[in-house]
Amino acid sequence: MVTPKASESSPKTLTALLRQRFRPLLERLARGLARLGVTPNAVTLLGLAGNGVAAVWLAQGRITWAGWLLLFIWPLDALDGALARLRGVPTPFGGVLDSVVDRYSELLVWGGLLVYYLSQESSIPIILIYLAAGGSLMVSYTKARGEAQGFRVEGGLLTRVERFLILVPCLLLNRPLIAIWAIAILANFTAIQRLWIVFRQALPSASINPPTSSQE
C-alpha cells in the first residue's frame, strides 16, 4: 500500500510533479493574498471569470489574446488550494467548488472555440470540439467515479495540465485546430486508459464478490 508520503515523493502525474516543484512559490503568493484578505473561493471564481473572458475572445477570433489570458490565469487553479491550506480552512465545499469550476472553465473555452468555428462554417472542427470537450469531461468523471467506488485512479496520458500545455501554445501561435485534434484523440484515450486502470483493480474483487446489482 502506498502511503501519502510516498506518493508525494514520487508523483505519478505531471500535475502532481508541477505542484510539488512550484509549492514554495505558490505558498509565497498565497501568503501575500492571505494578508490582503483574499479567500480561496474568490480565487477560484476569479479563474472562472478569466476563462469566461477568454471564451468571449475565442468566439470573436482573438485567438492569441485568449491564449495569453489563459496563460496568465492558469496558476490560479493551484493557488486557491495553497491559499486554503495556508488559512487552515480547506473545506469539502471548497474542494467541490474547485472541481466544478474547473469543468465549467474548460467548457467555456471549448464553447468559445465552438462559436468561432460555427462562424467559419467548418464542420470538422465542430465535431472535433465536441469530442475534445466530451473526452476532457470523461477524464475527470472516470477518476471521480472510480475513486468514489474505492479505486485508486492515478496517472493517465492527458490530464488537465497536459491539455493546457497543448492548448495554450497552439492558441498563442494561432493554430487552435492542432490542439483540438490532439485533445479530441488523446483525452478520450485517457478516459479509456483510466477505465482500464479501474478494471485491473476490480478484477480480483470481482472474481470473489460478483456484483449483485447494476448501477449507472
Set out the domains of the chain in order of their start, with CATH numbers. 4-201 (1.20.120.1760)
Query: How many beta carbons lie within 10 A of that of residue 36, not counting itself?
Result: 6
pTM: 0.82
- All three cell numbers of 57, joined, read 475572445
Residue 212: pLDDT over 60: no
Residues 180 and 110: their CA atoms lie apart, in Å, by 9
| pLDDT confidence of residue 3 | 40
Express each pLDDT in 8-27 by its tens digit.
445 556 766 776 777 777 77
Residues 62 and 53: their CA atoms lie apart, in Å, by 11
Q: Which of 77, 80, 98, 102 is catalytic?
A: 102
Q: Is residue 102 annotated as part of the catalytic site, yes or no?
A: yes
